[in-house]
Amino acid sequence: MSDLHVRAKALDAEDELGGKRAEFVLDDTVYLDGNSLGALPAHVPERVADVIDRQWGKLRIRSWEESGWWTAPERIGDRIAPLVGAAPGQIVVGDSTSVNVFKALVAAVRLARGEDAGTGARDEGRDEIIVDATTFPTDGYIARSAARLTGCRLTPLTPAEVPAALSPRTAAVLLNHADYRTGRLHDLPGLTAAVHAAGALAVWDLCHTAGALPVGLDAHGVDLAVGCTYKYLNGGPGSPAYIYVRAELQDRFDSPLPGWNSHAEPFGMRPEFEAAEGALRGRVGTPDILSMLALEAALDVWDGVSMDAVRAKSLALTDFFLRCVEAYVPKGLVESLTPEAHAERGSQVALRCSPKLSTSFEQGGAPLAGDVMKRLTERGVVGDFRAPDVLRFGFTPLYVSFVDAERAARVLAEILES
């Protein structure tokens, strides 16, 4: 038994979040892909069965009122709010991340221009959208479409380049809180302040940070934010996303996708649109109840959990994993793309495979990283990869243990050495 394995067991014994692991459906697999799909909370199947058997099966249409289906988007939004540092009444759940990015970005441009819905008032000077050039591809696609719709030019930049590029022409800036490839954490407070100093609005994508570390939306004055719920929030495959609209902006939030669910009088069936009050303006159509209530049940695992404790364990886990990789993996076979500085690190570790490994693997047209990850999965260590050479390991503090981290590094070393 190695010294690092002994140390891992000792760290698990001291872990204040260690008891949370029992609340998830897990097996002997080391599951390090919660940055793509979180593990199943153990109580969710029973809760979903009740939604199907009793609420839908017996109460049927009555469940919109008697089971609270109608208010689920804002109710669940208030459950997510403390996990991202937001007061109640600013988050509504529904639609996909992509749809919410579109709503938030177009609305941000309209807000920056001082447009009043229906009046035609407009500051023509704000004609630029800046988008994170390293962002997940869909955000870039949506930003390009939003730019066409609003008549803006689109400027792709790395987050580090944004402050110097801001100008009186900038309307909105769309940024990822963490790089999905490397796990690099971007400076949300500093970048938001820089965007505001230029008179523009900041839109943040929280998909790779919500549930893994404190975000501080209210504290840092973020204007609009979106995020998914199936990663660190463990809401299930395809669970609905959410949109955050800062309270001070809600009366001017002009969604490009007004729907009957965002109407001030949804059952009035009036042809003219009148926006509802508050974050409800972020709703569009009928809520996807089955997946939404599965998410609501999944959020129970967060009861009594401190986000500061989550962040502390996340950093300790990633530090320990990197230490094990350094100890076990022969020099030169992988290099870490994940920043060493805690302030710049999310909750994943990205390792780039050395080109010298390509001669040791029968790739058959598959990317090198894909071949390595396939062998890891066969050995009971599940992460994922980004072609051609990046291995990604997500560390979900609620259920990943230090023994998991040590085993993953040890198995990786055995595969690369062989």
The contacts of residue 348 (CB under 8 Å, 6+ apart) are 35, 178, 183, 208, 318, 338, 392, 393, 394, 395
Question: CB-based burial of residue 76 (10 Å sphere; 0-12 exposed, 13-18 middle, 19+ buried)?
Answer: buried
To 5 degrees, how large is the angle CA 203–CA 295–CA 348?
60
DSSP code of residue 331: T
Element housing 320 (H / E): helix 307-328
Which one, of 105, 116, 125, lies nearest residue 170 by Cα? 125
Q: Which of 240, 78, 96 is nearest to 104 (CA)?
A: 96
> Using CA atoms, how far apart are residues 231 and 34, in angstroms rounded to an integer?
5
Two tokens, residue 198: 């230029």
Give the separation between CA 194 and CA 228, rounded to whole angstroms. Answer: 26
Whether the Cβ atoms of residue 195 and residue 126 lie closer than 8 Å to each other? no
DSSP secondary structure string for all residues of 348-378: EEEEEEPGGGGGGS--TTS-HHHHHHHHHHH
- Cis check for the bond before 137: say yes or no (omega within 30 of 0): no
Which is nearest to 76 in space by CA: 237, 304, 233? 233
Task: Count how many residues are written for the chain.
Answer: 418
At 276, give phi and psi (nearest 5°): -70, 170
Give the pair of three-digit tokens for residue 138. 């869909």
Active-site positions read 136, 205, 230-231, 392
75: burial class by Cβ within 10 Å (0-12, 13-18, 19+)? middle
Q: What are phi and psi of 293, to 5 degrees?
A: -75, -25
- Encoding tokens for residue 361? 């693997």
H/E stretch holding 131 reads: strand 128-132
